[in-house]
Each structure stands twice: as C-alpha cells, then as structure tokens.
Amino acid sequence: MPKRTKLAILQAFNKLAKKKDFDKITVEQICKEAEVSRATFYRYFEDKYDVMNYNYRLLIDEYMNPEHITTMEDMFVIFLEHSGDDYWKPLLGLFEVEGYNSLHYCIFKYSFEAAKKIMEDKGLILNQLDVLQMEFFTHGCSYFYEDWIRGRYPDMTVQEGAAAIYDMLPEKFHGNLWN
C-alpha cells in the first residue's frame, strides 16, 4: 500500500504539472488531486520539489540493476527511449526550475551517486579526478537529456545517441557494471 500511495502522489503531481507551471503547484493541490492528507504527503515527500525529482529517481531505481542493463550504454538507451514516450514530454516545464532543488540538479546528483555506488560495489575506489570527470559528465547529461526530450537531435536514433554519450563517459565507467 505505501508504494501505491507514493505513486498516487507522484501521478497527481504529474497531472498538475501537465496543466500548470511548477511554481503554481501547491502541496495542497497535490494532496487534493491524490486524495491524501497533508500528513500522508509528508510521510512520503519533503516538498513538491521532492515529488518532482522522484520522477527521475524512480527511473534510475527501476532500471539500474543487472536485470535491465549490463553497461552504462544500456542505461542511456533506456533513458532516451523513455524520453520519447508520453511521460517526459508533458513534463518539460519541470526543467525550468532552477537551483539546488531543480530537476537538472537531481539528475546530476542521483546519476552520480548511482554510478559511484556501482563502482564501489565493484571494489573500485574513485579518486578526485574520477569524481571530477563523473560530476562534469553527469551535469552535462542532465542538459543533454532535456535537449533530447525537446527534440534537438531529430535525426539521431536512440542507439546512436546512447553510443555517443557512452563514448564520452570517463573510461573507468566503461564495460560490464556488475563484475
């Protein structure tokens, strides 16, 4: 039941985000749309920024495992495929939010932390250069992802886009993620 409630809140937020600007959405509106109390909302989320960013965290958490991907290139394919569906396009306005709570920052930070965890699970220690390269890379990926969703690369296939991103990935993060 808790997962269903959390998803109901996310779906309510996304429904509102398709109709109005992020700054016009309130927690009260989200609760009303999801048919939950404020107390229930705050049991699952800190604020509306947390709900907005859960869109991306859910995608990473669902696919960043050996059942779905072998390499980071596989993950990039999944991201680019999802950007073409009806999920992200109506939520493009969320990329307009700026600052620490922004969707761009969430994509950067959550992607970096997921990649770092995988490397640590493999027994690889990231030095400062690795961290710098991966932070730079994941920052850039968040903006590329927005541009991809906006259709900036209409003649590029998902596989071509994923391969191009993978080629730019720091070498330490190439290859099989799970051994």
What DSSP letter does each residue of 3-54 carry, written as one string?
A: HHHHHHHHHHHHHHHHHS-GGG--HHHHHHHHT--HHHHHHH-SSHHHHHHH
In a domain, 28, yes or no: yes
Collapsed DSSP state (helix, strand, coil) of residue 145: helix
One-letter amino acid identity for 169? Answer: L
pLDDT value of position 124: 86
In a domain, 9, yes or no: yes
Does 122 lie in the same domain as 67?
A: yes
| Beta carbons within 8 Å of 177's beta carbon, 6+ residues apart | 66, 69, 70, 71, 72, 118, 122
pLDDT value of position 85: 62
Does 80 lie in the same domain as 123?
A: yes
Does 93 lie in the same domain as 147?
A: yes
Q: Could you tell me the two tokens for 166?
A: 């993978």
For the chain, give the mean pLDDT: 91
Does 104 lie in the same domain as 157?
A: yes
Does 67 lie in the same domain as 131?
A: yes
Tell me: pLDDT of 86 over 90. no
Does 101 lie in the same domain as 165?
A: yes
Q: How many domains does the chain have?
A: 2
In a domain, 165, yes or no: yes
Q: Which domain holds residue 18?
A: 1-45
pLDDT in tens, 8-28: 999 999 999 999 999 999 999
In a domain, 178, yes or no: no
Does 58 lie in the same domain as 41?
A: no
Tell me: pLDDT of 42 over 90. yes
pLDDT in tens, 141-157: 999 999 999 999 999 99
Question: For the domain that residue 41 is a member of, what is the CATH number?
Answer: 1.10.10.60
Cβ(83)–Cβ(145) below 8 Å: yes
Tell me: pLDDT of 30 over 90. yes
Cβ(159)–Cβ(77) below 8 Å: yes
pLDDT value of position 84: 65
Cβ(120)–Cβ(93) below 8 Å: no
Does 164 lie in the same domain as 117?
A: yes
In a domain, 121, yes or no: yes
In a domain, 159, yes or no: yes
Does 97 lie in the same domain as 31?
A: no
- Unique residue bearing structure tokens 């640590």: 120
Go through 60-73 and write b for each residue having 16 or more CB atoms within 10 A of its CB, e for each that does not: beebbeeeebebbb
Cβ(140)–Cβ(174) below 8 Å: no
Tell me: pLDDT of 1 over 90. no
Does 32 lie in the same domain as 79?
A: no
Q: Could you tell me the two tokens for 165?
A: 């991103």
pLDDT in tens, 88-122: 888 888 999 999 899 999 999 999 999 888 888 88
pTM greater than the 0.85 cutoff: yes
In a domain, 83, yes or no: yes
Task: Provide the percentage of residues in the chain whose pLDDT is more than 90.
Answer: 69
In a domain, 179, yes or no: no
Does 156 lie in the same domain as 83?
A: yes
Does 146 lie in the same domain as 66?
A: yes
Tell me: pLDDT of 179 over 80. no
